[in-house]
Structure 1
Amino acid sequence: MEYDGIEFFNENKDIENDQFNRYLLHKYIKKLYMDNGANENEAEQATEELIIKFKDNLFGVNGLASMIGELSIPFFCSYFLQDTFVPKPDNVARELAPVHYMIWDTLENMINKDLYDKLELIMPRGTAKSTVVNFALSVYLHCYRKSIYTLVCGKTDQDSTEFIVQTRQAFEENPYIIKAFGKLIDSKNYTVNKNELELANRTKIQAISSTTSMRGKKYNGNRPSCIIADDYQSKADCVTEEARQKKYDTWTQDSEFAGDKAVYRHGKKIRSGTKFIVLGTIVHTSCFMSRLLKNKEYKHILRRACDFDVDEYFHSGLWEDFRKLYFNNKLQDSVSEAKEFYYQHEKEMQYKTIWQDKYSCLEEAISYYNNPTAWKQEMMNDASKIGTKWFASIKTLPYKSNECKDDIISHNVVKMMLCVDPASTDTKRSDSFAFLVGSVSDNGFKYIHKGELIKFDARTQFDEYLGHIIELLKIYKQITHVFIEKNTFNGSDANQLEKLIEQDAELSGRDIAIINESQRKNKDDKIASCVSAVNNGAIIFNEDDTDFIDEVKSFCGQNFSLHDDAPDCVSEFYNRIDNIEIIQPLRFLHLPKGLKF
């Protein structure tokens, strides 16, 4: 294996004599000396002398490695947790990035140097912040008994359980920890369950969900020494201004009473206060993490996936050429052609990310193109576009052109469906009944042949509403599936429509499937799935449907839009059309005379 550019060929199971272990120990001892003012020659000599002094106990109980591990969190993680953080032939670990070592240095300043008590760490999704902080720090704190009681707050109970499983495994199975600290798990005498670990050194790690209060929790009379909140806010905590304020208030009020303040005697600190660490990403401009950024009691670290203007970068040069190929509806397989273009220019199209060994330039760019707002929120911690219009551009074509130019009707229809979103009320502010006739072409692009918003009184115009569906089925003869949202009429409209089709001389001979399902998914999440396809011209609208198009253009999130029928209907069409199956009719062939099976 290779580490720091050095190849380690042996995989010695003898911890004391392993070449890699000795290299790590030497590297971090020398670094400690140099951090304390020694020059390189002085540090090298002092390191060699210390290793000789401890030559009979480098990695055992009270050995040199355990001493250096207490002084250096980066060494502790690199050596004691090497199977998690160091790439080896028998694991799938990734090469760590500079940001991970920066995090460990920050934690060392917080825990060992006691420079601050509260830390907010805002990182992109997928940067292993839970493993680098929650897992690594908890193991470190309890190996050295630096925390008597650690409380970890995950988003859900499942997150809490998974954290405890991973942490327990480190204490029970990690040979480097067992050799230096002994068996710290004693399930016969101490509590070990899915949400807490009581260790043999009389310390405890407990994991709770974000909905559980931290107040009043103690272990052997001790309040938590360290409280870690990881992805503390859920989507439900960010939907409304009231929910966002409540989440922030809950944390500040709970944390105020959950920990201990520092103890001073004669002006000297004799005990540190509880350490609070909050990890997460920015979800909204006024979400919990955003509000905490303004709290002066916290040290704040915010990192983004890329240190450049992604909007400008991904819409210029070779990446702009890639985007145009990716969303070119005239190509038979635009995705494959765009990727082939990338591979031909791969070297020139590379860019620096926060974790080079994790993030693929191609995959991240495609994610950005498919949903720029969501990507910037999760990867750039940029929620500035939330509350602004989602659909920046809409490609339109005439339904039928008398001139020799592109139109909707000329494209080959592979399959066609009708999506219906009935409105539940009939007030002036109420939603309209939305109707969308859409198809997918053999080039993979989707076409909206008809998009309508019609006001029906749900109580008195039920028959007129169903009659309009029948009319659309007769106009667009290639419709094979009708999707009707179930929430308004609870299935009665779908049942009545099926009867009307059976009774109609023209429609009864067609094989029309009716899909009637309730919608429980968050509407913003559902609509977000089609935003990039619309903005990049992968969904093409009928230019005559101005009301329908205008409502799509005006959408800026469920909480910031008067109506959402049109974009909601577009998202249903976009997410369903590819999954519907067309059953081809059986064809009977006449066998040649005299031929039998």
Structure 2
Amino acid sequence: MDDITEINTKENRQLLYKYLIKMYGKEKAKELMFKHKDNLFGNNSLAYSLGKRSIVFYCLYFLQDYFVPKDDNTVRDLAPVHYDIWRELEDIFIHHTHDKQQFILPRGCAKTSIIDMALSCWLHCYRESIYTVVLANRELDAINFVEQTKIALQTPYIKNTFGELVQPRKRTVNKLELELDNDTKIQAYSSGSSVRGTSYTSSKGKNRVTCFIADDYISEADILSDESKEKKYIKWQKEVEEAGDDPVYRNGKLIKSGTKFIVLGTPLAKGDFIDSIKNDPEYKVFHKSVVPFDPDEYFENHTYWQKFKEIFFDNKRENPLQDAKEYYEANKEYMAFETIWEKYSHFELAKKYFNKKLVFMQELMCDVDNVGDSWFKSNRTMPMKEIENHTFIKTMLTIDTAGVKNKDAKRSDYFAFVVGSLADNDFKYVRQAHLRKFKEFDEYIKHVISLLKENEDITHVYIEKNTYNGLDVDAIKSEMVKHSELMKRDITFINEMQRKNKDDKISTIVDAVNNGRIIFCEERVEQSFLDQVMSFAGQRFSLHDDAADCLSEFANRIDEIEIMKNITTIPRGWLF
């Protein structure tokens, strides 16, 4: 009998009755409610039986503190996509329609709670999985998953029906292992760990993995090259998939289901692990984006959003972001659009679309199909006279070096030079930009000297260290001694090895260029430099990346450098 008043509540009875109707129809539901009125929610109860047949009901009742809004929590209403996910899981684990499933979902869609945690709790409450392995990218993610699942399994609703499953004094319970008192186990691994040969032994015998769940299994390091992408996918095929069991049939009847494989995440690049699984015919794919329409077509043809964009990128305004937000608030009834979940703010989504489109397409639309196209779609130029009327806060020279006397002159890298400034309107101006190939090292040094002379407000010079290991910096400083006008200036040199992935670095400036927050001087930025920037499509698809790389160094480093303001003296009499 149910003797806990917090369990046998009106709301819980209504929920139970609602899902009994969905499962059996109204008359059968009434009959079952009456028949089991003395044990609706306890051990072997009606709720127990229904939860085994409906993951949706299980989550809404047994895990209601996570998924049902109440006066004492901050839970959001679930979206249709979450119910769709649970029904997909029912097909896999209850109806056994297939064994391999991929969920491609946008960032912020609660996929870890909705799938990892909820599914693991259901699997182990009903012993549908004896040994579940969860694979995460980082060990911290793996630890957090185990902790979240451990807490969820101790909710009063689960304890009332399934008993005390978490008993650390009797079972193995630590940051990566969660053995339950019903002889089942959940274990988490980081992606760098090996799962080859893993198994779980209890009093009932030895078990291989019955369910693998891979959640955001890849990192940026796994997409740096075609080799690293392939390595991750091959590891999954050879190490993870081979650790499972095949289903057992007798006379056409399923006696024991095979190991289930769940892959969930957001693609990072074309051909990465998530993208490869998507194209594997053994996997059923559930793919949802943050909006159910073409964002390019929507935003580019929407009068109000185009006005928002115009305000957002107006460098003549004192605070364009605030002005754009106020415009949105005044017109949001005309700017609303459908999203996958109410959690996503129209304002924030639009801001990311306009300002960080590559990130928007990858992380929120889950679309990497256009990687390989030119990254930069437009640029903003301005006459030198108009640019030089601005007040510049700081100015620097960035240099991307190359070798001299190259045998293959056509394919050899260029030296790239950018003289750029950050203005008091928070826009960045490329006041001068060159591409050069030098036959002699001295030609390179002389070119730097001429740029320093020509641009008297340069206070910092960044030169990547990889090519000359600092010899060029020493040569520039030695040459500066010969020029009295340069010796009077306090110029700081930044000479560092470049170890960052270029694609990652250049991707940070794409939206700023496309939207005109980085502005190019019409007269002093060479067309060859701008053409090379505009043709960049990622390292793999671009013959040269020198201009884009040098431009990204300027745009990112100008924010970091600090300028000491001159101290102005005041009349002594002002102090009295």
Compute the TM-score of the two structures, normalised by the length of structure 1.
0.89
* Between 24-33 and 465-474, the greater mean CA deviation after superposition: 465-474
1:181-203 CA-to-partner distances (Å, cap 9, x unmatched) read 12112223322222221111111
Say which SS state the counterpart of residue 360 (structure 2) adopts: helix
Say which SS state the counterpart of residue 300 (structure 1) adopts: strand
Task: Name 2:322's counterpart in structure 1.
Answer: 336
**Identity of counterpart residues, as a percentage?**
49
Q: Which amino acid aligns with 1:189?
A: K
Partners of 1:484 and 1:584 in 2: CA distance: 24
Cα pair 2:404 2:437 within 8 Å, conserved = no
Task: Name 1:352's counterpart in structure 2.
Answer: 338
Gaps of 5+ in 2: none
Task: Name 2:520's counterpart in structure 1.
Answer: 541
* Between 73-82 and 228-237, the greater mean CA deviation after superposition: 228-237
1:62-119 CA-to-partner distances (Å, cap 9, x unmatched) read 2332222212111111121122222334433222110001100111121111111111
Q: Which amino acid aligns with 1:319?
A: W
Partners of 2:297 and 2:8 in 1: CA distance: 53
Partners of 2:562 and 2:456 in 1: CA distance: 17
Task: Name 2:115's counterpart in structure 1.
Answer: 133
Task: Name 2:413's counterpart in structure 1.
Answer: 431
In the TM superposition, what is the alpha-carbon distance from 1:205 to its structure 2 partner? 0.8
Partners of 2:405 and 2:190 in 1: CA distance: 42
1:32-69 CA-to-partner distances (Å, cap 9, x unmatched) read 22xxxx3xxxx1x5434433443333333223322222
Partners of 1:501 and 1:82 in 2: CA distance: 71
Partners of 1:213 and 1:131 in 2: CA distance: 25
Partners of 2:220 and 2:415 in 1: CA distance: 28
Q: Which amino acid aligns with 1:531?
A: V
Establish whether residue 381 from structure 1 lines up as the match of residue 333 from structure 2. no
1:221-244 CA-to-partner distances (Å, cap 9, x unmatched) read 211111111122333333333333
Q: Which amino acid aligns with 2:522?
A: E
Partners of 1:425 and 1:378 in 2: CA distance: 41
Task: Name 1:279's counterpart in structure 2.
Answer: 264
Cα pair 1:152 1:228 within 8 Å, conserved = yes
Q: Which amino acid aligns with 1:201?
A: N
In the TM superposition, what is the alpha-carbon distance from 1:289 to its structure 2 partner? 2.6
Establish whether residue 318 from structure 1 lines up as the match of residue 300 from structure 2. no
Say which SS state the counterpart of residue 509 (structure 2) adopts: helix
Q: Which amino acid aligns with 2:16?
A: L
* Between 505-514 and 538-547, the greater mean CA deviation after superposition: 505-514
| 1:516–1:264 distance in 2 versus 1, CA, 3 Å | same
Task: Name 2:559's counterpart in structure 1.
Answer: 578
CA RMSD of aligned residues (A): 2.3
1:292-307 equivalences in 2 (<5 Å): 292-307=277-292
Task: Name 1:165's counterpart in structure 2.
Answer: 147
Say which SS state the counterpart of residue 161 (structure 2) adopts: helix
Partners of 2:553 and 2:9 in 1: CA distance: 58
| 1:500–1:204 distance in 2 versus 1, CA, 3 Å | same
1:410-429 CA-to-partner distances (Å, cap 9, x unmatched) read 32323211112222575333
Partners of 1:596 and 1:123 in 2: CA distance: 65
Cα pair 2:417 2:433 within 8 Å, conserved = yes
Partners of 1:211 and 1:105 in 2: CA distance: 32
Partners of 2:96 and 2:405 in 1: CA distance: 62
Task: Name 1:214's counterpart in structure 2.
Answer: 195
Cα pair 1:15 1:176 within 8 Å, conserved = no
In the TM superposition, what is the alpha-carbon distance from 1:246 to its structure 2 partner? 3.2
1:326-475 equivalences in 2 (<5 Å): 326-356=312-342, 358-400=343-385, 407-423=386-402, 427=406, 428=409, 429-456=411-438, 461=441, 463-475=442-454
1:58-207 equivalences in 2 (<5 Å): 58-171=40-153, 173-207=154-188
* Between 547-556 and 186-195, the greater mean CA deviation after superposition: 186-195
Say which SS state the counterpart of residue 387 (structure 2) adopts: coil
Partners of 1:54 and 1:502 in 2: CA distance: 95
The number of residue pairs the alignment matches comes to: 563
| 1:56–1:16 distance in 2 versus 1, CA, 3 Å | farther
Q: Which amino acid aligns with 2:540?
A: N
Cα pair 1:530 1:574 within 8 Å, conserved = yes
1:531-552 CA-to-partner distances (Å, cap 9, x unmatched) read 1111111111123411211110
In the TM superposition, what is the alpha-carbon distance from 1:134 to its structure 2 partner? 0.9
Say which SS state the counterpart of residue 245 (structure 2) adopts: coil
Cα pair 1:333 1:444 within 8 Å, conserved = no
Cα pair 2:67 2:77 within 8 Å, conserved = yes
Partners of 1:187 and 1:306 in 2: CA distance: 44
In the TM superposition, what is the alpha-carbon distance from 1:218 to its structure 2 partner? 1.5
Task: Name 1:520's counterpart in structure 2.
Answer: 499
Establish whether residue 18 from structure 1 lines up as the match of residue 9 from structure 2. yes
* Between 102-111 and 516-525, the greater mean CA deviation after superposition: 516-525
Partners of 1:281 and 1:596 in 2: CA distance: 63
Partners of 2:118 and 2:129 in 1: CA distance: 13
Say which SS state the counterpart of residue 394 (structure 2) adopts: strand
Q: Which amino acid aligns with 1:177?
A: I
1:258-294 CA-to-partner distances (Å, cap 9, x unmatched) read 1111111122221111111111223334333333233
Cα pair 2:7 2:157 within 8 Å, conserved = no
Establish whether residue 57 from structure 1 lines up as the match of residue 39 from structure 2. yes
Partners of 1:492 and 1:23 in 2: CA distance: 78
Cα pair 2:137 2:219 within 8 Å, conserved = yes
In the TM superposition, what is the alpha-carbon distance from 1:528 to its structure 2 partner? 0.7
1:370-410 CA-to-partner distances (Å, cap 9, x unmatched) read 2223311222222122011111112222324xxxxxx3223
Task: Name 1:3's counterpart in structure 2.
Answer: none
Say which SS state the counterpart of residue 451 (structure 1) adopts: strand
1:448-471 CA-to-partner distances (Å, cap 9, x unmatched) read 1111122246xx61x543443332
Say which SS state the counterpart of residue 453 (structure 1) adopts: strand
Partners of 1:470 and 1:80 in 2: CA distance: 72
Partners of 2:413 and 2:147 in 1: CA distance: 48
Task: Name 1:263's counterpart in structure 2.
Answer: 248
Task: Name 1:32's counterpart in structure 2.
Answer: 23
Compute the TM-score of the two structures, normalised by the length of structure 2.
0.92
Q: Which amino acid aligns with 2:421?
A: S
Cα pair 1:332 1:444 within 8 Å, conserved = no
Task: Name 1:288's counterpart in structure 2.
Answer: 273
Say which SS state the counterpart of residue 16 (structure 1) adopts: coil
Say which SS state the counterpart of residue 487 (structure 2) adopts: coil
Gaps of 5+ in 1: 1-12, 401-406
Partners of 2:405 and 2:166 in 1: CA distance: 64
In the TM superposition, what is the alpha-carbon distance from 1:140 to its structure 2 partner? 0.8
Cα pair 1:448 1:540 within 8 Å, conserved = yes
Cα pair 2:101 2:284 within 8 Å, conserved = yes
